[in-house]
A and B are shown apart, each in its own frame.
Chain A
């Protein structure tokens, strides 16, 4: 597309002259300056799902962003400008994601987009965002491809991915549960990349994978897969099953009492997906990036702020999805302050390589925005069901924490090719 610049520019001029159209033509490699004066609010577009499979997580994600925005506005906004937000439902549908992104950028004049749970929607939004140069924060989609082959200069990924969680879990589990492994994999991209990461590590540590069961997306009955697992009798089953399929699987494993033997390794369990369910549903070991009862300074206060901001929600304590939404938004606003401008390239540079001290992120280790992949390298926790707790909200027992260096996704490092700064349109809102 780059070599077409001249003809395109010519056409634009001709079209504009011929029709007298002064309408918005898209900042295709042109600089765009909306910010006429400093009293103009900074507008953030929220692209979270309010319907479809991820509606519930999307709502939690959104609350996190709004709390961060409200906290900044309470102390005078960013760069002295008020922060406004617009939310449009992305419906867990990529086609809607594209349209919502176009609308938020070209009609609502949003300078920044935040929010995603589904990787398809995240990809659709980031294609549009990269075209306009609008910074986009992928808060909660944990597909390794997000910071691998589908990475973009304008996109920053805030969740841990399947590889991170596998790295945290595999060594530990071989030591505890033995070397006979089985994989239960959802038959789509996320399932396959996550399973591949596990397989590589299992091979590396000298354990054996006896079988891999592929289950199609949309599976509601896992009985034949569970029968196969019983017949093979592995020590460990590593499951990469996501979305509603995972919810059905949980229910059926709990019903059979198969949650303890074999040992299960699950990927990340998002808090909105498990909150309020019986503990039996939380079988095996699973990952998370944050928990509301981590014994760290600031956590209790954070939970209080959440409860003060959202007294009516049925989810009485914040979880990892809320946390990611909040942290991503807060760090974006801080980066704008560090950059001293809302110019996109300056803000991108302020984010790249930025180290976030453990105490500020309420995690055990410092986190960093990886300048090569744009994924936040952060502490990954392994957890299991917290049996015997009096408090129904206290569902997780944190088993281990792994530092970002240990769980880093090296595959993403080689797969990700960010666009150059020069190829990213500049804009200032």
Chain B
């Protein structure tokens, strides 16, 4: 199986062809969403989840740290956004900054405790912390509204100094989220192709070797953790806007497991773009299957099992293989594990 370090072209380019394709698809989506039986709100959700999944893959795919409690930071971001609107003032930038900072702070606290851990212990500690956040969000109902949710979160207008654009309807919010997604992709793309990104990948491939070369491994693990928590917080803030409310459920273990599932099915372990494919597949499959049958989870579960058994490199890996079909020996390494 190829890995992220094999496929992702180590390009210094700011803009690559997949970005243009994604940009074209996302920008034109409102034109054809209705025609293919989808709807605008689903587009918003998909774009938000792309931000979340891409940020998550910085930790999961690139650094090889398997967090199973990442929903916590999405949730923290959502609550921070809502609480900012309710108690500080109605402001888009303020709310999003609060979401990113609050999630980043939560990420620092948890990251400091987990970044010395490896493998299963890392994963389990992230689960334990995730559960603590989830419990707290239900318990602190004076702050969060408990299981009723934090309601009536406004969608503040986009304030661009010279122009105020309202985001009340789904179309304008969609374009705003797509713009944020574009910025997030650029930032992450630069990050993973920078020396910092290389170090993260070195840690994934062999933590001990990276340490012997002289890097303070835990510091980089902590940074990756916090950064990816901040992207989750940003996504959470946007999601609170989309839903106009925030609920504890996104923090549950089940939901944190789903993001892992999406990233993996899409091929986050082998490609920068894997999470994007995974999110699209999950949401569209759910929307289409969910309307056809009440047992859609059965079919999705079976599909997921088949994917792990036969195509563990995910959708992105399959696409990669198809593209490289003409050259024999497309995968330079044997299919042994790479600590991925």
Q: List residues of chain A with CB under 8 Å of any chain B CB.
A: 1, 4, 7-8, 11-12, 15, 19, 21, 23-26, 28, 50-51, 86, 88-89, 93-95, 98-99, 102-103, 106-107, 118-120, 123-124, 127-128, 131, 143, 145, 150, 187-190, 192, 216-217
Contact = CB atoms under 8 A, between A and B. Distances in A.
Interface stretch (B112-120, B145-153, B268-276, B315-323): B145-153
Interface of B: 30-31, 33-34, 37-42, 45, 135, 138-139, 141, 145-149, 151-152, 154-155, 157, 164-166, 168-172, 175, 239, 242-245, 247-250, 287, 290-291, 294, 296-297
Q: Determine which residue in A143, A187, A189 has the highest number of CB atoms from chain B within 10 A of its CB, and name it.
A: A189
Contacts of B30: 19, 21, 23
A188 B175 CA distance: 37
B166 A99 contact: no
A115 B252 CA distance: 24
B34 A99 contact: no
Given A7-B157, A15-B175, A102-B41, 8 more contacts: A19-B31, A26-B169, A86-B291, A95-B250, A124-B243, A128-B244, A150-B148, A188-B146
A2 to B, nearest CB: 10
A88 B249 contact: no
Contacts of A11: 165-166, 172
Contact of A127 (B166, B170, B244, B290): B244
Contact of B148 (A12, A15, A23, A189): A189
Contacts of B166: 1, 4, 7-8, 11
Nearest to A51: B297
B293 to A, nearest CB: 9
A25 B171 CA distance: 6
B151 A99 contact: no
Contacts of A103: 39, 41-42, 287
Contacts of B245: 94, 98, 123-124, 127
Contacts of A128: 244
A15 B172 contact: yes
Contacts of B294: 50-51, 89
A23 B35 CA distance: 10
A21 B40 CA distance: 12
A4 B296 CA distance: 41
A95 B34 contact: no
A120 B141 CA distance: 13
A26 B250 CA distance: 26
A99 B148 contact: no
Contacts of B141: 188-189, 192
A189 B155 contact: no
Contact of B147 (A15, A19, A28, A120): A120
Contacts of A118: 147
A11 B167 CA distance: 10
Contacts of A89: 290, 294, 296
Contacts of A98: 41, 242-243, 245
B172 A188 contact: no
Q: Which of B37, B146, B148, B296 has the most CB of A within 10 A?
A: B148
Nearest to B173: A26
B39 A102 contact: yes
Given A23-B31, A127-B244, A1 B40 contact: no
Given A23-B40, A26-B171, A107-B38, A119 B147 contact: yes
Nearest to A27: B169
Contacts of A21: 30-31, 171
A24 to B, nearest CB: 7
Contacts of B147: 118-120, 188-190, 217
A99 B284 CA distance: 12
A123 B31 CA distance: 31
A26 B40 CA distance: 9
A236 B166 CA distance: 55
A301 B25 CA distance: 57
A102 B148 CA distance: 19
A95 B39 contact: no
A99 B168 contact: no
B170 A124 contact: no
A4 B170 CA distance: 15
Interface centre among B169, B247, B287 (most CB of A within 10 A): B169
A4 B249 contact: no
Given A1-B154, A88-B291, A103-B42, A23 B34 contact: yes
A120 B247 CA distance: 7
Contacts of A19: 30-31
A265 B169 CA distance: 47
A103 B290 CA distance: 12
A111 to B, nearest CB: 16
A102 B42 contact: yes
B102 to A, nearest CB: 19
Nearest to B146: A189
Contacts of B250: 95
A332 B60 CA distance: 50
Given A120-B148, A124-B149, A23 B247 contact: no
Nearest to A59: B294
22 contacts: A1-B154, A1-B166, A4-B157, A8-B166, A8-B169, A21-B30, A23-B31, A23-B34, A24-B34, A25-B169, A26-B171, A51-B297, A94-B243, A95-B247, A103-B41, A120-B247, A123-B245, A127-B243, A145-B148, A187-B139, A189-B141, A217-B147
Report, nearest first, the 4 A-B pairs whose CB atoms are least far apart: A102-B41, A8-B166, A94-B247, A189-B146
A81 B167 CA distance: 36
Contacts of B168: 1, 4, 8, 28
B38 A123 contact: no
A124 B247 contact: yes
B138 A120 contact: no
Nearest to A90: B290
Contacts of B247: 94-95, 120, 124
A145 B70 CA distance: 30
Contacts of B249: 93-95, 120
A5 to B, nearest CB: 8
B145 A95 contact: no
Contact of B41 (A15, A28, A106, A120): A106
A106 B40 contact: yes
